[in-house]
């Protein structure tokens, strides 16, 4: 995959990672796989990825055992934890499993950060979610608006569970001097995404539906909602770069958005995907299905100001890469 649109600075190793052990929860996942690649590009050589089969991070005993294994033979002050692991899904999955989304994400965040503090870990990077924002936050979402209302109902349990890591990071910094930072990535997309229609987010779901409908020669493509909501999407490689730029250069208590600054309606997104995949039928909007949050778009100035990061991949380029990857790897990801 070409990376021509990325700035050359992305690939220069940083002295920050020398002599550090980097623990990446969720390192085998969608975002995690890119974070691991970019860690290596930046000079990290000691990376520990807890596997789900070895450690169930929703259980305290497993987290304690995981840290006992991960912190062997190293001064914990030289350890960085990047917490990406999460139980995630689209609107449908959130509506069917709200309690699981709340419990799993809350327990993982609270216990992983608490045990890191207890063991003297040098830095903890918590990744939150745009779902933490109130339902009617003025666009673009500013980090200062996080507490001005209740999140959109369909994914509030997930969003609130992840938002508790912000409270935890700030209070642990205040009381214990623990260096925990909190990042808010917007919806991610890109190669290696989850294309399972039961649990996927909007872009991979639409890409798969459009490709398969085109191959079957369907006359119509069913799409949830009425197309009016807007969303912002961040290419997964940009997100990985943002997380690592913050890890290297940011040590503050303020939450920080990671986004592209580009907002698009679901209608325009769907029409774009239909055009790019070559589907020639009509769109049928299922207006009895939920739209989700009316608008989503982030103010991305804080990341630029605090650690010099901004997204590099255009939405058009990112979508081309995503669709190409899905077509090339379809049998692997759809069975």
Distances (CA, A) of 2 to 146, 236, 320: 36, 14, 11
Question: What are the tokens at 277?
Answer: 């995949």
By the 10 Å C-beta count (0-12 exposed, 13-18 middle, 19+ buried), 108 is classed as buried
Q: Count of H helices and E strands in the chain?
A: 10, 11
Question: What are the tokens at 100?
Answer: 């699981």
> What is the C-alpha to C-alpha distance for residues 41 and 273, in angstroms, rounded to an integer?
32
155-183 as b/e, with b when 16 or more CB fall inside 10 Å? bbbbbbbbbbbbebbbebbeeeebbbbbb
Report the candidate in 56, 49, 1 with the shortest Cα–Cα distance to residue 28: 49
- H-run or E-run covering 321: helix 315-334
Centroid of chain to Cα 32: 9
- H-run or E-run covering 117: helix 98-118
Residues with a known catalytic role: 158
Three-class DSSP category at 61: helix
> What is the C-alpha to C-alpha distance for residues 287 and 280, in angstroms, rounded to an integer?
21
Report the candidate in 157, 139, 149 with the shortest Cα–Cα distance to residue 257: 139
> What is the C-alpha to C-alpha distance for residues 32 and 326, in angstroms, rounded to an integer?
18
């Amino acid at each position: 995959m070409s990376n021509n649109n990325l700035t050359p600075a992305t690939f220069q190793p940083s002295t920050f990672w020398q002599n550090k052990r980097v623990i990446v929860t969720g390192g085998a996942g969608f975002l995690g796989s890119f974070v691991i690649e970019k860690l290596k590009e930046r000079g990290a050589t000691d990376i520990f990825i807890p596997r789900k089969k070895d450690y169930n991070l929703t259980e305290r005993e497993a987290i304690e055992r995981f840290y006992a294994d991960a912190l062997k033979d190293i001064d914990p002050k030289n350890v960085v934890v990047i917490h990406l692991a999460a139980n995630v899904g689209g609107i449908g999955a959130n509506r069917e499993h709200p309690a699981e989304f709340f419990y799993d994400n809350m327990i993982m965040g609270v216990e992983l950060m608490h045990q890191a503090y207890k063991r003297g870990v040098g830095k903890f990077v918590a990744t939150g979610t745009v779902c933490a924002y109130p339902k009617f936050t003025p666009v673009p979402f500013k980090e200062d608006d996080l507490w001005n209302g209740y999140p959109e109902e369909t994914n509030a349990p997930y969003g609130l569970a992840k938002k508790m890591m912000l409270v935890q990071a700030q209070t642990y910094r205040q009381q214990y001097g623990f260096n925990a930072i909190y990042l808010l990535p917007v919806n991610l997309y890109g190669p290696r995404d989850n294309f399972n229609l039961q649990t996927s987010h909007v872009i991979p779901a639409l890409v798969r539906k459009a490709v398969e409908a085109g191959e079957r020669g369907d006359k119509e493509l069913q799409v949830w909602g009425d197309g009016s909501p807007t969303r912002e999407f961040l290419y997964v490689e940009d997100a990985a770069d943002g997380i690592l730029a913050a890890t290297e250069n940011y040590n503050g208590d303020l939450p920080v958005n990671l986004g592209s600054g580009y907002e698009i309606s679901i209608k325009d997104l769907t029409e774009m995907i239909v055009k790019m995949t070559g589907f020639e039928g009509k769109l049928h909007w299922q207006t009895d299905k939920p739209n989700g949050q009316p608008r989503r778009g982030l103010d991305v100035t804080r990341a630029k100001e605090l650690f010099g990061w901004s997204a590099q991949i255009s939405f058009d380029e990112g979508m081309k890469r995503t669709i190409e990857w899905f077509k090339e790897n379809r049998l692997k990801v759809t069975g």
